[in-house]
Structure 1
Amino acid sequence: MAPRPEVGELRPSQLLYVFGIGAIVDLPNLSTMVMGLEEWDGARARPLREDRLLEAVKGQLGEQVERLVLPPMEEDALKAALEPGQVGVPVSSFPSFMRCPLCNHLGPRRRGIFDLKMDLMRPDRTRYVHSNCQKAQYGKPAVLPARFLVACERGHLDEFPWVSFVHGGKKDCHGQLVLSERGLSGDATDLVVRCQACDSKRALAEAFSEEGMKAYSCRGRRPHLRDFEEECTAELRAILLGASNSWFPVTLSVLYVPPSLEDELARYVEERWSTLSDVSDRAVLGFLRKQGQLGPLAAYGDEQVWRAIEARRNEAGTGDAGDLKAPEWRVLTRPESAPSASDFRLREVERPAAFRKLIRKVVLAERLREVTALTGFTRVGAPMDFEDAYAPKSEHRMPLSRQPPTFVPAAEVRGEGIFLELEEEELAAWCERQGDREKRFLAAHEGWRRQRGIEPASAGFPGIRYVLLHSFSHALMRQFAIECGYTAASIRERLYSRGPEEEGGPMAGLLLYTAAADSEGTLGGLVRLGRPEHLERLIVQALEDVRLCASDPLCSEHLPGGDSGPRTLHGAACHSCAFAPETSCERGNKFLDRGVLVDTVSGSPLAFFEGWLTRQGSPTS
């Protein structure tokens, strides 16, 4: 098969969070879709080892998954320049309907009408041109992809039914279509599609009305897999090209936690585990020794090294395969016994004096490594809108391949962070006094799930403990972003919230950390804020800042569920005071309420920090 032309570049992390498999990548002159795993060059995809994450992926996708891989890339820049198009992530042009900006011709790609013009030296200039445009005076004009599509909640995506739409459902006329604008705004209300043969015309705004697409049934198309599923009964919706609800990733992520290293030999094995993990026989060690690839392990005998490899392999296969946070919680709450590695280093520091009764432990994570794997995606609604999107067999999660995959794309980032553990006794006592507030959140949660047909309605409720930790995390996140120099989107949260009655509980802690693919995430700007001389001031300032909001009193009076039904799962929280960027929040800005932290203008007498802030007084400069 001839090599495909290069048309653009993406960062590995973008292929997980923004432009993953099944997502549309809007390039300067093209609209392309990232194709399924069958079309990836697995031989050029470098394995990424993270045993805990691999076990979790197997729990979702099946035991046939053998490895996590980085996207195919050419590490040799010179070779990549000399052999363009030999490696990379495969994409295909989508949608097929194009529009000429000069003559407004609208139609699917056909040779002789819309032709591909490649530029091997400037891939960003690759484009389709209208070869027989009647209004072109100088050359062939570059055409644009039609910016209307249809999708359903089961993850199917298809071309907009242009012919059927303009003819009111009839398909017997095949005249030339023209998409013209009646105004300058570019809105759907100003766009009209017309058939030149029968003069039928229709405004695009009708497609977005309540009855707009009810006359059309979903064909079950999966363009990233080049196939169709069996008949789909989900309701079709018109969406715009590049709409934010056209693709949501379903991901799993873990923080790297090194195993307990009791001796020097085990530490050396851990440092070289990416190589040693594939050693299947003792004789292979002799070959590695001759090649000089054992490093400091060369000082030990083959039998000793083999036993250490077997011990490391057995340790990786045990433990919390389905519980990603329990191993992290254990090591974060016991930093004095935590092993250190090049990608993991903890240091406990003094607690803020004013909050000693509320905060049990402050741990600085000077080195962290986060590994994330993509297991599927959803459309129209986010994965959290469909609880079953994380289930092994889900009708909402779209697969990455036609057959059960043997590998899935992953990415790793490194950073730093601050971990805070709250006092369990104080938190448990506070939770007991929050009966009314917790019932309000539970009612909103149940109503929200019933509105979406998710049963049982009460399942998955995180409890008032989570609301407190989540709200406190967002308050600190906003304050840290101001002080440390990182952008708000560069700081993420990882919450550890479980009641005493839950398996693995109790847990009550939060980790705020940076995660960047380069050295930016490990420059020390965030860790510095965890020192005792800074942290107390920052906590006080963060809590005082959320006491008032620019949208008060409306924001402070907002209740979970709202006044007109179960529309929201947050209390006193909005973009002005508590919401965080999508990349930062692990719960989509749900279950937030600054009223659980401090007394707002609407009154929150049972706020967790209120009494302590009164004793502390105003923050010092």
Structure 2
Amino acid sequence: MTKHKVGDIRPTQLLNVYGVGAMIDLPNIAGMVMGLDDWDTTHSVLVSEERLLRAVRVQLGAQVEKLLLPPVEPDTASADPLGGAKIGVPVAAFPQWFRCPWCELLAPISSGLFELKTDPFRPDRARFVHANCSKAGQPPVALPARFQIACSHGHLDDFPWLRFVHRGAATCNGPLRLKKIGASDEAVDLLVKCDTCGRDRRMSDAFGEVAESDDVFECRGRRPHLRDFAPSGCNEHAETMLLGASNSWFGISLSALSIPMHVDKLPQLVEERWAVLQHIPSKETVGAFRAVGNLKGLEDYSDAAVWDAIESKKSGVQVDEENGNLKLPEWNVFVSADPATNTRDFQLTPVVAPHGYEQYFEKVVRAERLREVRALTGFTRIESPGDYSDPSEIPDAQRAPLGRSKPVWVPVSEVRGEGIFLQFSEEEIRKWVRRVTRQDEEMFRAHSAWRRARRIPEPESGYPGIRYALIHSFSHALMRQLSMEAGYSSASIRERIYAHDGGDDAPAMAGLLLYTAAPDSEGTLGGLVSLGEPDRLGRLIRLALEEIRLCASDPLCGEHRPAHDGTSSLHGAACHACMFSPETSCERGNKYLDRGLLVQTIGGGNVPFFE
């Protein structure tokens, strides 16, 4: 198989936007990111994050051995694009059907009518050309067909052009043309026509009720990122979607903050480097690992001390006492906020509650340095995983695999940055929760209706509670204000909500972390964490609450209530003008939001937390 470099993307995009199975829209080609079986991990870097690895194993199985960064061309790589190894993430052209804009010919790559042209010095110029076009003076650039079909079981296929135009069995294999017959580019103005038999059909028939009753759109179970078909087939009805549609790929990921797991420094250093140190078989080989540079950061410790720490780790390898809960250990570390446990990747400084709001907050912690590792564990199509309360709820039939067999590694992204953690007063939270039983019941009924309408099993389960809705709403309000003050874009600030009523499985939690991070090893510049000072944070909270009392969409927004028919969005008084945040910032897809839980709104009748 010939390999050509066809473009560049950022490493973090490989998890959030262009993960395995996703489409990459290049200037002249649409590419499909291939499954893990096709990846060459020679140049991938091993990432140590034991808590995340354990959580990934819960989802994907105990065979997962490691977390790897995507392969990146080293800085020392040859500047000559014609020489050196081809390092990167594998992609293949998809869809396989292309259209010539001059003669309107529609054909697959396998027909041999389109030829790939690449420029090693300009990868962005990679393109397919129609070499024998009868209407162009020189071979014109052919463009990917705009339509494809997909089903909710994670399958994706080329649009069935031949069967579609011939309305079933394609006994005729004549050349096809995709013609524009109207003023617009809408489906109703596009016509597929066969040159041989003359049959034609409007593309509008590929949508709506006509398509739902057409056997042409039966799913074949194709998995183009794995170059195969689902072994058990598929009985779903596929639906037509446009190239690059936002619902063609939703990544399923897990993330964890690198928190200190030990008070003593050496066990913590071993924990951070466990992905490498776990392979040391004996005390005698510690020196060999040190000689080849695998014990960086442990220069102050003898081989015997390092081996004792490794033995201690192996003998008491922590089985996850939090039952896979990634947030509970983080909550415990933030609440204790002991600077003595600070590490290179996690540095906390506790400060007093924001001025003017001491009644509502227990403490504030400035996270001057933090590290987040995010792992891709699968993806879905059409149905968003955000409809589920937890990734573990996603049915296996809807979760598309990353490889043809169970993965032994998963791709991750690693970012470093800063943040502000706020812990609410548990006493104030409990008093307020007792006063909002009506709003709690209203939100719960909307939650159940939402899940029932989407046929999610056990619709009454997974409700995060009114406590979560309060903290989540406050997070969005403060996030907007921090963005304006710190100079970061709203899309670059993320939230991490810690909310739990308390019980046998976990203590009560009521807090949030707002943070920003970047792939750079030095992280970000400190503009966000500096806003955690009591005076500045108190002023920002006051401004944030004042800002959401009125909305540009009032009274419509202020009077909005969570719908009980499952068709509307799962939120109260919230909209794009006042509370919604970018997709990259919100951990719940802008659900469970209501500014009426925070302050008095124009709708009235609410019981605000901040009175």
TM-score (norm 2): 0.95
CA RMSD between the two structures: 2.1
**Matching residue of 2:207:** 208
Measured in 2, the distance between the counterparts of 1:203 and 1:393 equals 36
- Give the SS at the match of 2:341: coil
Task: Tell me how far 1:125 sits from its aligned partner.
Answer: 1.2
Superposed, 1:68-147 pairs within 5 Å as: 68-79=67-78, 81=80, 83=83, 86-110=86-110, 112-137=112-137, 139-147=138-146
- 1:566, distance to aligned residue in structure 2 (A): 3.8
In the alignment, is the contact (CA less than 8 A) between 2:416 and 2:524 conserved in 1?
yes
Q: 1:271 and 1:109 mapped to 2: Cα distance?
A: 48
- In 1, Cα distance between equivalents of 2:290 and 2:448: 61
Deviation at 1:370, TM superposition (A): 0.3
CA distance in 2, matches of 1:604, 1:519: 49
Q: Is the 8 A contact 2:470 2:597 kept in 1?
A: yes
C-alpha distance in 2, partners of 1:51/1:304? 21
Aligned counterpart, 2:396? 394
CA distance in 2, matches of 1:484, 1:163: 55
Q: C-alpha deviations, 1:337-384, integer Å up to 9, x for none?
A: 661111100001121231111111100000010000000000001112
Corresponding residue SS for 1:212: helix
Q: Distance in 1 between matches of 2:339 and 2:125?
A: 56
**What secondary structure, in the 3-state scheme, does the structure 2 residue paired with 1:21 have?**
coil
Secondary structure in 2 matching 1:468: helix
| 2:583 paired residue number | 582
- C-alpha distance after superposition, 1:63-108 (max 9, x if no partner): 0000010112221443374535622111111111100010111111
Alpha-carbon distance between aligned partners in 2 of 1:329 and 1:135, rounded to the nearest angstrom: 66
CA distance in 2, matches of 1:170, 1:402: 31
Query: Structure 2 regions of 5+ residues with no counterpart?
Result: none
What pairs with 1:35-46 in structure 2 (closer than 5 Å)? Answer: 35-46=34-45
**What SS class does the counterpart of residue 560 from structure 1 fall into?**
coil
What is the CA-CA distance between 1:197 and the residue it aligns to?
A: 2.2
Change (3 A) 1:295 1:104: closer
- Which whole-Å CA distance do the structure 1 matches of 2:179 and 2:145 have between them? 12
- 87 and 321 in structure 1: CA distance in 2 versus 1, 3 angstrom threshold: farther
| Cα separation, partners in 2 of 1:265 and 1:178, compared to 1, 3 Å | closer
Counterpart CA distance in 1 for 2:467 and 2:54 is: 29
Structure 1 pair 288–447 and aligned structure 2 pair: CA distance change class (3 A) = closer
Distance change in 2, residues 1:425/1:194 (3 Å):
same
CA distance in structure 2 between the partners assigned to 1:546 and 1:131 by the alignment: 59
1:607 is aligned to: 608
What is the percentage of aligned positions where both structures have the same residue? 51
What is the aligned partner in structure 1 of residue 12 from structure 2?
A: 13
Q: CA offset at residue 4 of structure 1?
A: 0.8
| Preserved CA contact (<8 Å) 2:66 2:275 | no
Deviation at 1:309? 2.5
For residues 381-428 of structure 1, what are the alpha-carbon distances to aligned partners after superposition, in whole Å with 9 as ceiling and x for unaligned?
111235685358611100000100100100100110000010111101
Tell me how far 1:303 sits from its aligned partner.
Answer: 2.2
Aligned amino acid, residue 164 of structure 1: R
Q: What secondary structure, in the 3-state scheme, does the structure 2 residue paired with 1:333 have?
A: helix
Secondary structure of the 1:116 match is strand
Which amino acid in structure 2 is aligned with residue 344 of structure 1?
Answer: F
Q: Which residue of 2 aligns with 1:370?
A: 372
Q: Which residue of structure 2 aligns with residue 403 of structure 1?
A: 405
Amino acid at match of 1:369: R
Contact 2:355–2:537 at 8 Å: present in 1 too? no
Please list the CA deviations of residues 177-217 of structure 1 after superposition, one character each: whole Å capped at 9, or x if unmatched.
11111334322222111122232222212212233243221
3-state SS, counterpart of residue 549 of structure 1: coil
The change in CA–CA distance for 1:149 and 1:389 in structure 2 (over 3 A counts) is farther
Answer with 173-182 or 362-371: which moved more. Answer: 173-182
Measure the CA separation in 2 of the matches of 1:373 and 1:293.
24
Number of corresponding residues: 606
Aligned partners of 1:252 and 1:375 also within 8 Å: yes
Conserved 8 A contact 1:213-1:238:
no
8 Å Cα contact 1:3-1:85 kept in structure 2: no
Contact 1:51 1:316 in 2 (8 A): no
Given that 1:55 and 1:321 are in contact with CA atoms closer than 8 Å, whether structure 2 keeps it comes out as no
What SS does the aligned partner of 2:513 have? strand
- Partner of 1:79: helix, strand, or coil? coil
Residue 591 in structure 1 maps to residue 560 in structure 2: no
Check whether the contact 2:451–2:566 (CA below 8 A) recurs between aligned residues: no
| Aligned 1:477-496 pairs, distance under 5 A | 477-496=479-498
What TM-score do the two structures reach when normalised by structure 1?
A: 0.93
Query: Is residue 235 of structure 2 the alignment partner of residue 233 of structure 1?
Result: yes
Quick one: which amino acid aligns to residue 582 of structure 2? P
Query: d(CA) in 1 for partners of 2:302 and 2:586?
Result: 49
Q: 1:259-408 to 2 correspondence within 5 Å?
A: 259-262=261-264, 265-266=266-267, 269=270, 275-288=276-289, 297-298=298-299, 300-313=301-314, 317-318=318-319, 319-320=321-322, 322-336=324-338, 339-385=341-387, 390-391=392-393, 394-408=396-410
SS at match of 2:209: coil
* 1:447 equivalenced with 2:446 (yes/no): no
Residues 157-236 of structure 1 correspond to what in structure 2 (within 5 A)? 157-215=156-214, 216-229=217-230, 230-236=232-238
Cα separation, partners in 2 of 1:519 and 1:197, compared to 1, 3 Å? same
The one-letter code matched in structure 2 to 1:68 is L
Question: Counterpart in 2 of 1:619?
Answer: none
**In 1, are the aligned partners of 2:254 and 2:375 still within 8 Å (CA)?**
yes
Code of the residue aligned with 1:151 in structure 2: it is A
Q: Does 172-181 or 490-499 show the bigger shift? A: 172-181
Q: What's the secondary structure of 1:353's corresponding residue?
A: coil
Q: Does 1:473 align with 2:472?
A: no
Any conservation in 2 of the 1:479–1:538 contact (CA below 8 Å)? yes
